[in-house]
């Protein structure tokens, strides 16, 4: 249902316990009056009173009217923070003043998602904007803006920033840092006067991306504490920011980070900014669930069970040998693996990572009969077949680079410094795009590939067109188009977003992919942190989470299989291990862990995330509860030795208080070693949800680096 409102409206949207009130009065751009807890039914008079209640008094040495902060903040209104639109027409028209021409509201049939579309123009600056604001059924706000040049000449867009106001009680910032092998490292700070801005200039999201930038009441945790967060759904250069002005006004926002001259609009041309998501909630778990619920509601969200996967990279690296790989496939199939993925090294000239990128033909020297013998063997064993590609990259030592050096990204006629011995292939060049699409289509069709591990192993340094112009914006759009084209050609085909591990994790790429590779590091001690915080944005079924070999290839640490498997279980489970080197005991235990995954994955991949706030930093308690609150799976992870011998009680949150649950610890093989059982394990193990949530049960005493799963089932 669509309603056409006059450009003089107050709009109240509500969904999933969230209210969004928009002021579109007096032909001005929409301003958010309230974004937060639901306000109930409000009349027009109530809404007008709400607007009036937020008008600040005029103070000395400030503008003589209350400052109105639009979704695209405007300097002409007295806003002295980051502007919504930054650009110019040869130095002019840099401070537009828009007048709204139409306001349309839509509520989707069978859904509670509401959309507001505002059209506005500045006839002097000869610009038009289209602002879309949605409140989704999950309670997420998302907004984006498009700018059109309606005049003559060229209008250069420098920045388009969406901003959402937050109340003054929100004073603590949480976002994420990281690096290769240690993505999504949380960091907290006070929101002080000034701007807390996180820029991503890597041409990809980045292992150090803010991911979700939240500002909340001091001390907010997983269970409670109001938080307002933003996420920019874009896989190229981007910004997130939180800003507090001298007058106490506060906003959070984001947008694409445009390089100089990247967007120059001719007459009638439009720049569309990415969606910027806003997530309000009471507690970080509730905030994360809004993202998860939204993602799970999408028509393209994976609905089939997430297949147990083996990726052969850490088993064989570039040493591709048919006999060794078929043996690995047989061992995997006997364990219950459902998808086999051949990683880097299958194509021409690729005996190491110095050469071959771009030459997407099966290497005849390694595979004289093509991939058919391996593919047929894998399928005969009952598994899907997946393959590694890095479509956006090129080695200088490749047939493709020698034939088309002009396709290599560069600035001012010079090649950028190499990273991982490679350069970037400019997919915004139509011929380069067509070549990669044809090569991938040919390989995927010939071998009926079910799944591609889509890698992206370097930052875009000095990424430009042959003539010198910056090219990150167009490259990002081209990558999306390439993914979409392959999805269209091969229904049911799946893509994993891998980018040196977790350097491309965002809601832009996830529109085209079916999971992300959280990190190249699968050391379970590191993955306890990385999986935990990647779930602030993405649910478990979208997180590639693999069981490593005993001695980790990234950190060199050794871990027992129970810690490796118990950590990896909460995600899209896989193996990254040369099974020929596993002992019979390890293989027996591994088969049990895989069986447990298959039994629990409907719950793990459809339940509500719960992370229990802990005082002891050496311990994590986390898991999922089914939507009907009839079952749950929790994990107790001991990360290090505590200062005390017993850590006391652990609680399992968000259960139905009046339901009785049987609590069953799960110990597989060596997982029982170093675990000393509390007395209650030998009893009936039945407790009410209220007891488990508020009082809890005594934790087992465990050695460091152990995971104990618990399965909770409603009784009666």
Predicted local distance difference test score (pLDDT) of residue 642: 87
Q: What average pLDDT does range 625-643 have in this prediction?
A: 95
Q: What average pLDDT does range 325-335 have in this prediction?
A: 98
**DSSP labels, 413-480:** TBPPPPBTTBEEB-TTSHHHHHHHHHHHHHHHHHHT--EEEE---S--TT-B-TTS-B-HHHHHHHHH
Q: Is 581 exposed, middle or buried (0-12, 13-18, 19+ CB in 10 A)?
A: exposed
Sheet of strand 686-688: strand arrangement: 608-611, 619-625, 631-638, 706-715, 660-665, 686-688
pLDDT interval class at 4 (50, 70, 90):
low
Per 3-state DSSP, what percentage of the chain is helix, strand, and coil (rounded to 5)? 25, 35, 45
Q: What does the DSSP 8-state code read for residue 540?
A: G
CB 143 within 8 A of CB 132: yes
Taking each continuous run of H as one helix and of E as one strand, the counts in the chain are 12, 41
Whether the per-residue pLDDT at 169 is higher than 80: the answer is yes
Q: What average pLDDT does range 477-485 have in this prediction?
A: 98
User: What's the CA gap between 680 and 248, in Å, rounded?
Assistant: 53
Predicted local distance difference test score (pLDDT) of residue 7: 66
For 138-155, write each residue's pLDDT tens digit. Answer: 999 999 999 999 999 999
User: What's the CA gap between 278 and 424, in Å, rounded?
Assistant: 33
What percent of the chain is modeled with pLDDT above 90?
Answer: 93
For 350-361, write each residue's pLDDT tens digit. Answer: 999 999 999 999
For 66-113, write each residue's pLDDT tens digit. Answer: 999 999 999 999 999 999 999 999 999 999 999 999 999 998 766 678
Taking alpha carbons only, the member of 174, 192, 171, 169 closest to residue 240 is 174
Q: What average pLDDT does range 396-410 have in this prediction?
A: 97
Three-state DSSP at 709 gives strand
Taking alpha carbons only, the member of 242, 187, 216 closest to residue 533 is 187
Calculated CA dihedral for residues 353, 359, 362, 367, nearest 10 degrees? -50
Q: Specify the range with the lowest mean pLDDT, choosing from 359-363, 384-388, 487-491, 672-676.
A: 672-676
Q: What average pLDDT does range 277-294 have in this prediction?
A: 98
CA-to-CA separations, 304 to 297, 514, 606, in angstroms, rounded: 14, 11, 12
The dihedrals phi and psi of 311, each to the nearest 5 degrees, come to -110, 135
pLDDT interval class at 412 (50, 70, 90):
confident
User: What's the CA gap between 41 and 536, in Å, rounded?
Assistant: 31
pLDDT interval class at 597 (50, 70, 90):
very high
Whether the per-residue pLDDT at 3 is higher than 80: the answer is no
Q: pLDDT: is 412 or 698 the higher one?
A: 698
User: What's the CA gap between 540 and 306, in Å, rounded?
Assistant: 10
Predicted local distance difference test score (pLDDT) of residue 646: 85
For 444-472, write each residue's pLDDT tens digit. Answer: 999 999 999 999 999 999 999 988 899 99
**Residues assigned a catalytic role:** 455, 520
Q: What average pLDDT does range 395-421 have in this prediction?
A: 95
For 492-544, write each residue's pLDDT tens digit. Answer: 999 999 999 999 999 999 999 999 999 999 999 999 999 999 999 999 999 99
Whether the per-residue pLDDT at 394 is higher than 90: the answer is yes
- The first and second tokens of residue 233, run together, are 């759904």
What percent of the chain is modeled with pLDDT above 70?
Answer: 99
For 195-229, write each residue's pLDDT tens digit. Answer: 999 999 999 999 999 999 999 999 999 999 999 99
User: What's the CA gap between 608 and 288, in Å, rounded?
Assistant: 9
CB 343 within 8 A of CB 350: no
**DSSP labels, 164-203:** EE--TT--EEEEEEEETTEEEEEEEEE--SEEEEEEE-SS
User: What's the CA gap between 697 and 3, in Å, rounded?
Assistant: 54
Predicted local distance difference test score (pLDDT) of residue 2: 57
Predicted local distance difference test score (pLDDT) of residue 615: 83
User: What's the CA gap between 366 and 195, in Å, rounded?
Assistant: 55
């Amino acid at each position: 249902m669509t309603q056409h409102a006059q450009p003089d409206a107050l709009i109240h949207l509500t969904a999933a316990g969230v209210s969004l009130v928009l002021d579109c009065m007096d032909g001005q751009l929409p301003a958010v009056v309230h974004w937060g807890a639901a306000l109930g039914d409000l009349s027009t008079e109530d809404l007008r009173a709400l607007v009036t209640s937020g008008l600040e008094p005029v103070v000395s040495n400030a503008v003589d009217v209350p400052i109105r902060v639009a979704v695209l903040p405007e300097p002409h209104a007295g806003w002295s923070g980051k502007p919504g639109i930054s650009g110019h027409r040869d130095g002019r028209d840099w401070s537009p003043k828009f007048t709204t021409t139409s306001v349309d509201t839509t509520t989707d049939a069978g859904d509670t998602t509401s959309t507001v579309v505002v059209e506005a123009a500045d006839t002097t600056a000869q610009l038009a904007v289209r602002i879309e604001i949605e409140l989704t059924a999950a309670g997420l706000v998302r907004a984006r803006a498009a700018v059109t040049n309606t005049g003559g000449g060229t209008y250069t867009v420098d920045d388009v920033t969406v901003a959402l106001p937050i109340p003054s009680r929100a004073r603590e910032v949480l976002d994420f840092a990281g690096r290769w092998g240690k993505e999504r490292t949380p960091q907290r700070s006070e929101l002080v006067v000034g701007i807390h801005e996180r820029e991503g200039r890597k041409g990809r999201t980045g292992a150090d991306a803010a991911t979700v930038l939240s500002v909340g009441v001091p001390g907010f945790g997983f269970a409670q504490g109001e938080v307002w967060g933003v996420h920019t759904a874009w896989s190229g250069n981007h910004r997130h920011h939180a800003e507090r002005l001298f007058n106490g006004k506060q906003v959070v926002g984001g947008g694409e980070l445009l390089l100089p001259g990247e967007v120059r609009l001719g007459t009638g041309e439009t720049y569309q900014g990415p969606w910027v998501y806003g997530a309000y909630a009471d507690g970080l778990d509730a905030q994360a669930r809004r993202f998860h619920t939204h993602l799970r509601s999408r028509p393209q969200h994976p609905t089939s069970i997430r297949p147990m996967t083996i990726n052969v990279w850490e088993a064989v690296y570039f040493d591709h040998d048919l006999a060794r790989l078929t043996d690995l496939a047989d061992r995997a199939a006997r364990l219950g693996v459902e998808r086999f993925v051949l990683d880097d090294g299958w194509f021409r000239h690729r005996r190491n990572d110095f050469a071959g990128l771009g030459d997407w033909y099966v290497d005849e020297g390694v595979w004289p009969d093509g991939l058919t013998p391996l593919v047929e063997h894998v399928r005969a064993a009952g598994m899907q077949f997946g393959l590694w590609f890095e479509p956006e990259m090129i080695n200088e030592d490749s047939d493709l680079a020698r034939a088309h050096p002009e396709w290599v990204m560069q600035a001012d006629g010079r090649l950028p410094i190499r990273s991982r011995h490679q350069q970037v292939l400019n997919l915004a060049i139509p011929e380069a795009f067509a070549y990669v699409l044809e090569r991938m289509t040919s390989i995927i069709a010939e071998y009926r590939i079910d799944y591609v591990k889509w890698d992206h192993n370097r930052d875009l340094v000095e990424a430009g067109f042959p003539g010198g112009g910056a090219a990150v914006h167009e490259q990002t759009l081209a990558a999306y188009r390439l993914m979409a084209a392959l999805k269209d050609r091969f229904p049911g085909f799946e893509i994993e977003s891998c980018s040196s591990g977790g350097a491309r994790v965002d809601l832009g790429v996830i529109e085209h992919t079916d999971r992300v590779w959280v990190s190249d590091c699968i050391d379970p001690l590191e993955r306890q942190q990385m999986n935990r915080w990647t779930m602030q944005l993405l649910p478990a079924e979208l997180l590639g989470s693999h069981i490593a070999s005993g001695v980790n290839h990234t950190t060199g640490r050794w871990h027992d299989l129970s810690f490796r498997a118990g950590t990896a279980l909460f995600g899209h489970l896989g193996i990254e291990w040369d099974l020929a080197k596993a002992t019979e005991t390890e293989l027996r235990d591994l088969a049990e862990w895989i069986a447990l995954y298959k039994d629990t994955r409907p719950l793990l991949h459809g339940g509500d995330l719960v992370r229990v706030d802990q005082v002891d930093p050496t311990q994590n308690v986390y898991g999922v509860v089914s939507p009907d609150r009839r079952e749950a799976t929790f994990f107790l992870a001991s990360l290090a030795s505590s200062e005390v011998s017993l850590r006391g009680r652990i609680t399992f949150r968000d259960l139905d208080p009046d339901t009785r649950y049987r609590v069953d610890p799960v110990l597989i093989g060596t997982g029982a070693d170093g675990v000393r059982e509390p007395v209650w394990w030998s009893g009936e193990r039945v407790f009410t949800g209220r007891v488990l949530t508020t009082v809890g049960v005594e934790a087992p005493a465990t050695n460091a680096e152990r995971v104990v799963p618990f399965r909770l089932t409603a009784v009666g």
